[in-house]
Amino acid sequence: MKEIVTFPHCGYAWIAAKALLENIGFDVLVPPPISKHTEKLGAKYSPTDACYPYKLSLGSMIESLEKGATVIIMVGGKKGLCRLCYYSKLQEITLKKIGYKFRLITASNPQDAIKTLKKANPNISLKKTLKIIPFVWRKIKAVEKIEILARKTRPYELRNGETSKVMEGALKEVDKAQTLKEMNLVNLKINEMFKAVKRDKKDPHDILKVGILGEAFCVLEPFANKNIESKLGEKGVLVSQKVSEAGWLLTSAKLNFHRWWIKHMIAPQYLKVSGGGEDQQSIGKAILYGKEGYDGLILIQPRGCMPENIAQMFLPTISQKYNIPFLALSFDENTSETAVDNRIEAFVEMIKRKKERKK
Partner 1 sequence: MKKISKACFSPRRKIKIGLPKGLLWYKYHRFWEVFFKELGAEVVKSSDTNKKIVEEGTKKSVDELCIPVKIFFGSCLDLIDKCDWIFIPRYWIIDRKSITCPKLITLPDTAIMIIRKKILTTTINIKRKPIFLSFFFLGLKLKKNPLKVIQAYRAAIRAQEMNETYLEKEFQKKLASPLLTVAVVGHEYNIYDNYINQELISEIEKQNVNIITSDLVPQSLSDTYLKEKPFIYWSYEREIIGTAYWALSAKKISGLILISSFNCGPDSLLHEQLLLEDSKKPILSILVDESTSKETVKTRIEAFLEMLKRKGQIINT
Under the rule (CB under 8 A), what is the footprint of partner 1? 46-51, 54, 78-83, 85-87, 89-90, 93-94, 97, 269-277, 279, 303-304, 306-307, 309-310, 312-314, 316-317, 330
Residue 299 is inside which H or E element, if any? Answer: strand 296-302
CA-to-CA dists, residue 74 to 57, 90, 124, angstroms: 9, 12, 19
CB closer to partner 1, 222 vs 304: 304
For the CB of residue 163, give the shortest distance to partner 1 in the complex, in Å.
33
Minimum CB separation of residue 215 from partner 1 in Å reads 13
By beta-carbon proximity to partner 1, the closer residue of 32 and 304 is 304
CB of 34 to partner 1, least distance (A): 21
Asked if residues 83 and 51 have their Cβ atoms less than 8 Å apart, the reply is yes
> Given the complex with partner 1, which of 155 and 277 has the nearer CB atom?
277
Instruction: State the nearest-atom distance from the C-beta of 101 to partner 1, in Å.
Output: 17
d(CA 134, CA 141): 10
Distance CA 338, CA 208 (A): 22
Decide whether 78 or 358 has the Cβ nearer to partner 1.
Answer: 78
The least CB distance from residue 57 to partner 1, in Å, is: 13
Q: Show Cβ contacts of residue 272 under 8 Å, excluding neighbours closer than 6 positions.
A: none
**Residue closer to partner 1 (CB basis): 23 or 94:** 94
Task: Tell me which long-range contacts 79-83 makes (C-beta under 8 A, separation of at least 24).
Answer: 80/276, 81/274, 81/275, 81/276, 81/277, 81/307, 82/275, 82/276, 82/277, 82/305, 82/306, 82/307, 83/50, 83/51, 83/54, 83/306
How far apart are the C-alpha atoms of 5 and 20, rounded to whole Å?
A: 12
- In degrees, to the nearest 5, what angle opens at C-alpha 170 toward C-alphas 169 and 176? 90
Q: Distances from the Cα of 351 to the Cαs of 131, 301, 347, in angstroms? A: 49, 21, 6
Whichever of 1 and 93 has its CB closer to partner 1, that residue is: 93
The smaller minimum CB distance to partner 1, of residues 244 and 282, is found at 282
Q: Of 272 and 358, which CB lies nearer to partner 1 in the complex structure?
A: 272
Least CB distance to partner 1 at residue 70 (A): 21
Q: How far is the CB of 336 from partner 1 (least distance, A)?
A: 17
Interhelix angle for 13-24 vs 162-176, to 10°? 10
Minimum distance from residue 328 beta carbon to partner 1 (Å): 8
CA distance 98 to 126: 36
Burial environment of residue 287 by CB neighbours within 10 A (0 to 12, 13 to 18, 19 or more): buried
Smallest distance from partner 1 to CB 107, Å: 16
Pick between residue 87 and residue 135 the one whose CB is nearest to partner 1. Answer: 87
Closer CB to partner 1, 137 or 270, in the complex? 270
Least CB distance from residue 271 to partner 1, whole Å?
Answer: 5
CB atoms within 10 A of CB 100: 17
Other C-beta atoms closer than 10 Å to the C-beta of 132 total: 15
